[in-house]
Amino acid sequence: MEDHGEPRDYWKLHFIVFLWGFTGVLGELIDLPSIELVFYRCLLASITLGVILRKKLRVPARRAIAMFATGGVIGLHWVLFFLAVKVANVSVCMVGAATISLWTALLEPLMVRGRVLKRMDLVFGVLVIGAVAIIFQSETQYAVGFAIAIAAAIAAAVFSIINGFFAKHTPHRVITWYELTGACLFCALCLPISAHWLSEGRGLDLMPSAMDWFWIVILAELCTVYAYSEYVSLLKRLSVFTINFANNLEPVYGIILGGIILGDYQHLGAGFYIGTALIALLVLTHTGMSRRKRLTIG
């Protein structure tokens, strides 16, 4: 799929990525294990969308099942994402998430019939990995958190590619409701895992504090209902790779916000800033090249 978006689509995309950059900070601020956190995020978001859409949710049964199943992949992505935040920190998690462009470039030709591996996509994906390596070379104490974040990025690449199919036939908010509901069910099934292995001996933690509820509502309504549904809408006009490559700015925004709100900057070396600057430059370059290509074709 080539890009057919207008300039406002690119601005909207980067605003969505900025909101997603804030989710890592919210994951640190919310004092819940990752599975319970995602469970409440998806539960509130799916209820909100269900009230808004009501009778507009009817779709063919096979497609509904496929979207529910894709929601499980999304739930897995978010659980791994927030787990990486809690095992390491916001900055390390965000850097691992930046590898999504490489996984998209490699997986899309395998998952989409007729999609060939583009040299430009692969080159930019590899360059992002190089920038990540620069960032991570002095942060090996966070290796486990980094590995979890990379697994989250692979899951994100998979569901982004699948959503490219759904976006052609189904309204974006309907897709979002089915997938968020599927993610909520996935997390509900995983609650025993959280109780035994992820809660640090607390068992199930299903009673958020008042402050936790405040942050969960922001996470569910702004960073999920709005941001995720608009992201699905953009899949109608922008390629999966363009969207996922722009997501490489998520660690930049997340690191900046983590530094301002959580003081993460105290633990970051020069390599971290060099790598994030390279990621930002690569994203801007790729976006510019994609737009010029679209204008030339048009």
Residues with Cβ < 8 Å from 11, sequence gap 6 or more?
Answer: none
- Check residue 292 and give its pLDDT: 66
- Check residue 106 and give its pLDDT: 82
pTM of the model: 0.84
Cα dihedral across residues 145, 74, 165, 12: positive or negative = negative
195-238 tens-digit pLDDT: 887 766 677 878 899 999 999 999 999 999 999 888 888 888 88
81-98 tens-digit pLDDT: 999 988 888 877 887 877
Choice between 10 and 220, residue whose per-residue pLDDT is larger: 220
Other Cβ atoms less than 10 A from the Cβ of 11: the count is 10
Other Cβ atoms less than 10 A from the Cβ of 133: the count is 12
- Please choose, from the candidates 199, 262, 212, the residue with its C-alpha nearest in 3D space to the C-alpha of residue 25: 262
Instruction: Assign 200 to helix, strand or coil.
Output: coil
Domain ranges of the chain: 7-297
- 283 pLDDT exceeds 60? yes
- Check residue 297 and give its pLDDT: 45
Q: Any idea which of 28-32, 50-54, 200-204 has the lowest mean pLDDT?
A: 200-204
